[in-house]
Amino acid sequence: MKKIEGLIAASFAAYKDNGEINLDIIPEIVENLIADGLAGVFICGTNGEGPNLTIEERMAIAEAYVKAVNKRIIVMVHVGHSSIYEAKKLAAHAQGLGVDAISSVSAFYFKPSSVKALVISMAEIASAAPETPFYYYNIPHLTGISMDMLEFLNLAEELIPSFRGVKYTASTLHEYEACLNHKDGKFDILFGFDEMLLPALAVGAKGAVGSTYTFAAPLYNRIIECFQNNQLKEARDLQMMSIKMVQSLVKFAPIPAQRAIVGFKGINLGPCRLPLLELKASDKELLIEELEKKEFFSTVKDCIKNHSF
């Protein structure tokens, strides 16, 4: 598998009103992602509420996405779990589906005490899907695991035959750049902070995974296009729009707020699953009103018109 280029949408979980997962809506989600110019989809991660789902639910979601995508875009499946044995079941299942890649966070209750312990844990998970490219999911602000990623790359290369790279969801751009350039760029380091995409492009990013790409991919595709064409003023202005949007999200709760935006754009993802709480109707109205005042939605529409890929 060659290095991933472009945007991978970290899709959101969808539920029925009774709280059961909604598989029926997945084809609609996929068609919207493809129409928006996404390179792929990352499922059952943070925004897909993987830790809130049973492994049976996660397997069913993976099956539905693989069927709906039908090899048109990349499918990456997050298989991380607090139990490595459960993670291995998810990894083996994903390989059986023929997905393009799997990824895993560290165990997040009993945490590895060293880079070596972390890599050994990831190697155990990856061993259940030896033919499928494996990416470590580095997201220290949620897992509480902050390790030296250069040391991780060296050990992972040695101990994980299927290792391809890292989904790097951290704001430490200096380490991100160092990982990109490690061993002459041998590994695929996907950037994970949407509101910092332009700085990541400046240090060499080619691929990125993010939640807001689910509903604002044209904005980010335009940022990439402007960066590549040296239209830096427009790229900075558009990245600032992303920042303004994220500033609105964090006034509420980021995942429920983003789910509300997806709903506003026409796809009803249903209620959240505890411990997440769906935004109140009044808060949804405030969020949408604030984003409209910031001209977020109109900017995304303009990016569709201006996009020349």
Query: Residue 189 gets which letter from DSSP?
Result: E
CB 149 within 8 A of CB 180: no
Catalytic residue, candidates 88, 167, 168, 220: 167
Does the annotation place 209 within a ligand binding site?
yes
Query: Residue 120 gets which letter from DSSP?
Result: H
**Residues belonging to the chain:** 309
Note if 65 is an active site residue: no
Measured CA to CA in angstroms, residue 291 lies from 90, 243, 302 at distances of 38, 12, 15
Element of type H or E holding 286: helix 281-293
Torsion of CA 194, 220, 247, 107, to 10 degrees: -20
CB 106 within 8 A of CB 145: yes
- Report the SS3 class of residue 102: strand
CB 124 within 8 A of CB 92: no
- Count Cβ atoms within 10 A of the Cβ of residue 8 and give its class: 0-12 exposed, 13-18 middle, 19 or more buried: buried
Note if 167 is an active site residue: yes
Catalytic residue, candidates 15, 135, 136, 137: 137
Could you tell me which residues are annotated as the binding site for pyruvate?
A: 209
Could you tell me which residues are annotated as the binding site?
A: 209
Active site residues: 137, 167
